[in-house]
Chains A and B, each alone.
Chain A
């Protein structure tokens, strides 16, 4: 890809795809933008009128907005921390030779194939339920008071459920990265007198940097829009304790039938997501350069 000529033709050849994607993105985006400047309530059809920035003013001054903003950040960061650290530990474990390795690897990947609604319901009803849940039974067996996860620690519980879903993804990517590490490097470090823990921090972790970056970037995109898990477990409550931006927009436009307000929220979410993306690329994107 070195010559001017080959770069030109490369650009020419990918341009149809780029244009298609651009249109695909631009049409819904401009419609959202357009709706966000309208007073548009589904209960009063045909009465749309231009209101300027009113929708934005209401959305941004709503106390629920700040709660949702913090919840979104807490959810993303919490899940990232759990999945990256847990993923590294699991990958280290699965990289060891042991009996039944193949089956265990498949089992580890399994949660990724469970639909978010299903897994959230299973967690809610079978594990976290304060009366019938497994955790409640375990607590009672130990003579402890059962803990009502979803009302006492709603956001923490959702972080747990979402982490459980994303852990396989992180593990899988980190495991393949770990397996691509040249064994001779580890042996050289061993001869150089590095005990296991130092080999991990000096050799393995730097080798994993790129994979960790990929995990963080991809997961952030999906975690900013977590929705199903909240809908089927806490409905954003109690109060706004587990409402994130996506859920707030849903409430605005579909529970309050306020399409204009919801669209304004959508635009705000897009801007915030882009700010996050720029920050992430600035901070860790350099790891992706070969």
Chain B
């Protein structure tokens, strides 16, 4: 079981309040992703849950039990660090065995779990190596193996893939998702890569300066962002945000339209502009279009084979049904 409840949890370092009082419930078996810009308090929140930092106020409950003042080892949580934090002088086998050894598990049970984890994570051939002799991806798998064998109530990941190259990251992303499906254990995953957030999460928590901006499923956040910040943060490439007279026409302070909800045409449309840089990805092409009289260029998605080039004049038409409107406070207008 791994239901984690944060009740008015607050954290301050000295005079600086990093996390103002915050409520959050993480259901058993859920894959929750914390996203947010750098320095917004994601790691701090995770470390509060882990017990590596003391809360300045509020309560943390794990499975209804008050865990606020429990030491990390007693919370039944396992953490995978960004730097892997493997023990360099121990072999992979000893690294994975370490938490079980500390818990005093019988030797044969330890062996059984090590074999299981090694097989699941493709580490069988590397058990007798030292961490220094492994590649980044293998090290990350050892760190995950060390977490798995404890059979924790929940896994905590702090940007576990940020030290890996792009291709490996995609592979490990799938492996972690698969692991979650197989174990059905609660996982809390911190990242600032919003592709990771979108692809892996059951539930995304968007943080800004320690505040929760929105909680919801990836598609909920994508389709109905609660405010301008979430709208701009979720989605890649970013949503186009337009202010000024054009927004006022729609009865809003800011309007947002995603690149795929803009139609591009050489004959006519709502907004006339000029093509700037274009990014050809094969399946899609993204055009950066400067609309006459607006400062910010708009990003437009077109299918892969559009023959438009730098300096061409085009017209853009937003799909009204997919237009997001926000008021002066930045909140969504329903």
Contact = CB atoms under 8 A, between A and B. Distances in A.
A182 interface: yes
A185 B87 CA distance: 7
Interface string B72-89: 110001110111011111
A190 B99 CA distance: 9
Contact of B85 (A182, A193, A198, A207): A182
A98 to B, nearest CB: 17
A58 interface: no
A190 B85 contact: no
A106 B303 CA distance: 68
A202 interface: yes
Contact of B150 (A184, A192, A198, A203): A192
Contact of B83 (A184, A194, A198, A202): A184
A187 B73 contact: no
Nearest to A192: B99
B87 A191 contact: no
B77 A191 contact: yes
A189 B51 CA distance: 13
Given A193-B73, A202-B87, A203-B87, A188 B81 contact: yes
Interface of A is mostly: helix
A187 B87 contact: no
A240 B87 CA distance: 49
A52 interface: no
Contacts of A206: 87, 89
Interface in B239-254: none
A115 B109 CA distance: 59
Interface string B149-164: 0100000000000000
Interface in B101-159: 102-103, 146, 150
Contacts of A184: 81-83, 85
B300 interface: no
Contacts of B99: 191-193
Contacts of A209: 89
A193 B77 CA distance: 10
A206 B73 CA distance: 22
A190 B72 contact: yes
Interface residues of A, number: 18
Given A192-B73, A202-B87, A187 B102 contact: no
A163 B79 CA distance: 43
B85 A188 contact: yes
Interface string A170-204: 00000000000010110111111111001000110
B98 interface: yes
A11 to B, nearest CB: 28
Contacts of A192: 73, 98-99, 102, 146, 150
B4 interface: no
Contacts, number: 58
B50 A191 contact: yes
A198 B50 contact: no
Nearest to B83: A184
Contacts of B51: 191
Contacts of A182: 83, 85
A188 B77 CA distance: 11
B90 to A, nearest CB: 8
B52 interface: yes
Given A194-B102, A202-B98, A189 B78 contact: no
Contacts of B82: 184
A189 B79 CA distance: 10
Contacts of A190: 52, 71-73
Contacts of B86: 185
B295 to A, nearest CB: 43
Nearest to B158: A184
Nearest to A209: B89
Nearest to B81: A184
Contacts of A189: 87, 98
A192 B86 CA distance: 12
A192 B98 CA distance: 7
Contacts of A195: 73
Contacts of B150: 192
A198 B82 CA distance: 23
A207 to B, nearest CB: 7
A188 B81 CA distance: 8
Contacts of A187: 52, 72, 79, 81, 85
Residue among A187, A193, A206 with most chain B CB within 10 A: A193
A209 B87 CA distance: 14
A191 B72 contact: yes
A61 B286 CA distance: 93
B221 to A, nearest CB: 30
Nearest to B149: A192
Interface string A272-290: 0000000000000000000
Contacts of A203: 87
Interface in A71-130: none
24 contacts: A182-B83, A184-B81, A187-B52, A187-B72, A187-B79, A188-B79, A188-B81, A189-B87, A189-B98, A190-B52, A190-B72, A191-B52, A191-B78, A191-B99, A192-B73, A192-B99, A192-B146, A193-B73, A193-B102, A194-B102, A195-B73, A198-B102, A206-B87, A207-B89
Interface of B: 50-52, 71-73, 77-79, 81-83, 85-89, 98-99, 102-103, 146, 150
Interface of A: 182, 184-185, 187-195, 198, 202-203, 206-207, 209
Nearest 10 CB-CB pairs, A to B?
Answer: A192-B99, A193-B73, A188-B85, A184-B85, A193-B102, A206-B89, A184-B81, A191-B72, A194-B102, A185-B85
